[in-house]
Amino acid sequence: MKYTQLGRTGLKVSRLVLGTMNFGPQTDEADSHAIMDAALDAGINFFDTANVYGWGDNKGRTETIIGNWFAKGGDRRDKVVLATKVYANMAPDGQGPWPNHDKLSALNIRRAVDASLKRLQTDHIDLYQFHHIDRDTPFDEIWQAIDTLVQQGKILYVGSSNFPGYKIAQANEAAARRGGTIGLVSEQCLYNLFERRAEMEVIPAAQDYGLGVIPWSPLHGGLLGGVIRKEAQGGRRASGRAADTLNDPAARARIQAYEDLVDKHGLEPGEVALAWLLTRPGVTGPIVGPRTAGQLESALRAAELELGEELLAGLDEVFPGPGPSPEAFAW
């Protein structure tokens, strides 16, 4: 496993990030623990979760599963760079949040950190991420709350998720004005071969401010994992974002062209999609969210895959990016 620095920090993290969103809803606790053991054995030291994972009436369940895994000992916690997120309404689906029980007020941040620490059975979170922008809370209030938590030793670094470029700039300029606050060190964003809009503003802002980029949904909901071939072979059918996209004839033609290109090179679509992200400037590592041990093994193969210039050029033809910023949108 290769490692890199997380943005401008001294923190070393693996080039693959273990996403845990499926732990609980789709993967039971025993299998989730087996996947985490296998990931750690393979050298993946960067685990990502969120307080809301578990979903529905089981929000927080994923953090609990991870906490139970840490409790098994064997230096599991010491070896893991642990990232979780705050923002969501933690009430069961259908129930509105009690005032100050969601978003990024100082009160909710303090409450959410303590709840996550309890579920995760740890005394600190390595990377605490804002899951979404909060239009109602000023960054001065947010950073005051974060500074207190850092001083208490409850969190070490702070990242963002789903932030536009201008909010990354606002957040770090506010941190700089306060002095003594490191500000955001990472941005977790939707970024993959099919969805490259992050190249317009988010990734340039992240690079300028020294943030590591952590792409989520690297296969775009399974769309880049050989979905058309799997359908033809009677396998698992596309659902969610992938199914909606395939209903568009033009998009389906692009995915078919992608699968044909990858097949020409004798490679697996999902592994190529992950390997491509590892070639992108500013990317720390994509989040892989395996439901099974086999899916983790595929991701590990992708981390070792070297893509040739011919294939990279072909990928740009099938999925052209927006081009350099600001030219891409200015003229």
* Six token digits for residue 82: 């642990």
Asked if pLDDT for residue 236 goes beyond 80, the answer is: no
Quote the pLDDT of residue 180: 83
Q: Which of 53, 87, 191, 258 is catalytic?
A: 53
Query: Which is higher by pLDDT, 235 or 328?
Result: 328
Q: Cα separation of 125 and 127, whole Å?
A: 6
Residue 317 pLDDT level (bands cut at 50, 70, 90): very high
Q: Cα separation of 41 and 77, whole Å?
A: 14
Strand partners, 127: 83, 157
Q: Cα separation of 223 and 186, whole Å?
A: 26
Q: Cα separation of 195 and 266, whole Å?
A: 24
Summarised one tens digit per residue, pLDDT across range 17-37 is 999 999 999 999 999 999 999
Q: Is the omega angle on the peptide bond into residue 326 within 30 degrees of 0, that is, cis?
A: yes
Summarised one tens digit per residue, pLDDT across range 78-105 is 999 999 999 999 998 888 888 999 999 9
Residues near 228 by beta carbon (within 8 Å), at least 6 away in sequence: 246, 252, 255, 256, 259
Q: Is 285 helix (H, G, I), strand (E, B) or coil?
A: coil
Three-state SS string over 150-164 comes to HHCCCEEEEEEECCC
The CA–CA distances, whole Å, from 84 to 42, 60, 115, 125 equal 21, 11, 12, 7
Q: Cα separation of 43 and 58, whole Å?
A: 30
What is the pLDDT averaged over residues 267-280?
A: 98
What is the pLDDT averaged over residues 216-245?
A: 87
Q: What is the pTM of this model?
A: 0.96
Q: Cα separation of 136 and 201, whole Å?
A: 23
Active-site annotation holds for 53: yes
